[in-house]
Structure formats: structure tokens, C-alpha cells
Amino acid sequence: MSESVSTYAWEITDEEVAARHGVPLERILRYDMNTSPVAPALVAERLGQPFWPPLNEYPWTDYRALTEAAAAHVGARREEILVGCGADEVLDMCTRAFLRAGEAAVIPVPTYAMFLVVVEQRGGRVVTVPRRPAEEGFGVDVEALAEAVAREDARLVFLCRPNNPTGSIEPRAAVLELLARIPGATVVVDEAYAEFAGDSLVSERERLPNLVVVRTLSKAFGLAGVRVGYAVASRLRIAEIERFRPPGSISTVSATIGEAALRRPDAMRATVARLAAERERFAERLRSLGWLVHPSVANFLLVRPDGSGPAAAVAARMLARGMVPRTFDLRHPLADHLRLTVRTPEDDDRLVAVFAAEEVRP
Ligand code: PMP
């Protein structure tokens, strides 16, 4: 494999944080993963039920029950859904289906790092287009994107909505304009955080056959460890991606829990409401420290820790107490920022206290 291929920088493990910073394992708080602070109760309920599909057998390759549950959740038909081992595998399948080696994929940045990785791993060319600055809400420049697609004869565009790591959401009209202007390219809209934003482009799939929406159970459903994601698109687009779907990448255990969660979205809705309230409270507390906190519709906040020192020093101070922020390397346009997952009020207050006069030093 070529040495120039981007690799995803795997997150440091809890064990490594504990060993490196001398913090007890149970004190470690992940502010870097954008996951839910707890798994929903239905997982324990489902695990405790007497009937399980036989684990000595392979899962049925059509994942019918899981696929139907995902279809019901988003208001689509079964043929308009494709399930995978997390959104990441679905993104990879989309790349394999729609991009050949040497072809260009256009990606507005900053955004989810995995888009670049999957394109480069498949031998594609990454063409990045900068998003507008923070003062303009990190929006995409539709004109520049359409121009890049035409210039590079790009086959694929990746758009994260809401965007990780900015927490911003692209106005619907801008995405629809882009989709209409580039009918020859497939636009993969990563909606990993859509349930938090309460807005989705799923309803546009029939009118816009070049749209593929990608969703996951890792965020609002609180099931990152279960590894279930899915694509929603027109029947024909799904059939094209289907050719690259492995027969059994979702375990029977995960498919069963994922189905149960999708059939009971009440638990997810409660998580979303709780985290939205906590997001605003946490943001206010961080602002009271003097930090710049960008508006967010997701379960994380992009912050610049003004007044508390450079981002790297703030990150080091957090790590010394077992709190792990998402940092950006020096060449990244957000190098002076941190991304913080919204957790529980108790956890978040522990973080704020580190930078407020109120911290009681051990
Ligand atoms: N898309 C985005 C925008 C994400 O932030 C993440 C996880 N950080 C993923 C996809 C990966 O989702 P999954 O756990 O379903 O693979």
C-alpha cells in the first residue's frame, strides 16, 4: 500500500490514559468520542430475554429485521436501506461503489476525518474545499463545491450534516442546491448526528437520486459499541452499494440489539432531550470561563479556551485529571480549538471546575 494514504488517528485507550497520567481507570471521562454517557436500558433488557437467534449460526445475510426497523425509523421502504457495521463501514462501501481508483472525491473541510481515509484507501483523489469561517457559521461554499466537482470531474462528494467537528448544520436549501447542480456525482450526506438536530434529508431521496444519507446507532441511540449504521437512498442507489456489502459484518448480537433500539425510539428521544439541555448549560458554563463556544446542534461543542492558555496546554491539564478532549494537530485550521462531548451535568461540572477558581486541589 502507498505510504501517502491517510490513516485515522486512533483514540488513546482508557488504559493508556490511566498509565500515562496516573489516573485511576474509573475516573476517566471521554470528552473525545461524541458518544452517549450511558447505554440505554433496553440493551440490558434485550440481553436478559430468553430467546435469541442461534449464535452457532451465521446471521441471515439480508438482515431483514434490522433493515425493516431502520426503514420504519426513518420512514423509508426496506429496499431503500442498507445496513453495515457502523456508519464507517457504510462510508467505505459507498466509496467502493461510487469511486474508482484515480477518480476525485470532493470534501468540504474541516470535517470528519474518515472521509479522507476511505477515499485514499480506495485509491481515490481527495479534493478539499474549505468551509466558510466561524463567523459565517462554517457553512459550505456551494459555488466552490460545484466548481470543484466540475473541474475535477468528481464522482463523489462527502458532506457531514450536522458537521463534525464544528457542530454546525448546513441550511437545507444549500445542500439541495448543491445536489441539483451536480447530478452526475453521488453526494453522501453523513447524518450521524441528525437525531440531535431534528432535521434530515432522508425525505429528499426519491426526488434526488444522487443523494445517499448515512446514519448510525452510535450517537443519539447510545450504542457505539454495538456497531450498527445504515444508508438511506433511492432503491437503485442502494442496489449499487449492496454489491459491496459483506455478507455478515454485523453480528447477530448487534443486529438484535440494534433492531430493538430502532423499534423503541422513545429511549433515544429522551437521550436527545437530556443532552440538548445539558449542551446549552455546559456551553454557558464554558462561556463563563471566557471560552469561545461555537453554536452546536449536536452532542458536542467546539471551543477555543480563551483565557485558559493554548489549546494544547488546556488539553494537558484535562488529561492530567483523566478527562480526554479531542485535539487538532498543529496544521489543522482548528489547531487552537478543542472538541468536547456533552456528558452528564456532574461530569461536565468536573471539567469546568478544573478551569474555574473553584477547583479544589488534591
Ligand atoms: N460519521 C461521523 C460524522 C462521526 O462523527 C462518526 C463517529 N465519530 C461516524 C460517522 C462513525 O460512526 P459509526 O460508529 O457508526 O461507525
User: Which residues form ligand 1's pocket by a CB distance below 6 Å?
Assistant: 34, 86-88, 112, 160, 164, 190, 192, 216, 218, 224, 229
Q: Ligand 1 centre from 358 Cα, in Å? A: 35
Domain boundaries, the chain: 14-34+267-354, 58-264
Task: Return the residue whose CA atom lies nearest to atom 12 of ligand 1.
Answer: 87
Atom number of ligand 1 nearest to Cα 228: 15
The pTM assigned to this predicted structure is: 0.95
Residue with cell 449464535: 55
What pLDDT, in 10s, does the model give residues 155-168?
999 999 999 999 99
Task: Kindly tell me if the per-residue pLDDT of 55 is higher than 50.
Answer: yes
Count of CA atoms in the C-beta half-sphere (13 A) of 275: 29
Of how many residues is the chain composed? 362
Region for residue 102 given its phi and psi (left: phi exceeds 0; alpha: psi -120 to 50; beta: otherwise): left
Q: Ligand 1 centre from 11 Cα, in Å? A: 13
What pLDDT, in 10s, does the model give residues 8-47?
778 899 999 999 999 999 999 999 999 998 888 888 888 8
Residue to substitute in 8, 164, 230 for testing ligand 1 pocket (most ligand atoms within 8 angstroms of CB):
164
Q: What is the mean pLDDT of residues 306-321?
A: 96
pLDDT band at 1 (very low <50, low <70, confident <90, very high): very low
Q: Ligand 1 centre from 155 Cα, in Å? A: 22
Task: Return the residue whose CA atom lies nearest to atom 1 of ligand 1.
Answer: 192
Residue with cell 462554517: 138
Could you name the CATH architecture of 58-264? 3-Layer(aba) Sandwich (3.40)
Question: Domain spanning 14-34+267-354: which superfamily?
Answer: Aspartate Aminotransferase, domain 1 (3.90.1150.10)
Say which residues have a Cβ less than 8 Å from residue 105's Cβ, sequence separation at least 6.
95, 99, 115, 119, 124, 125, 126, 127, 154, 155, 156, 157, 158
What cell does 121 get? 484507501
What cell does 29 get? 471521562
Element (H, E) at 29: strand 29-31
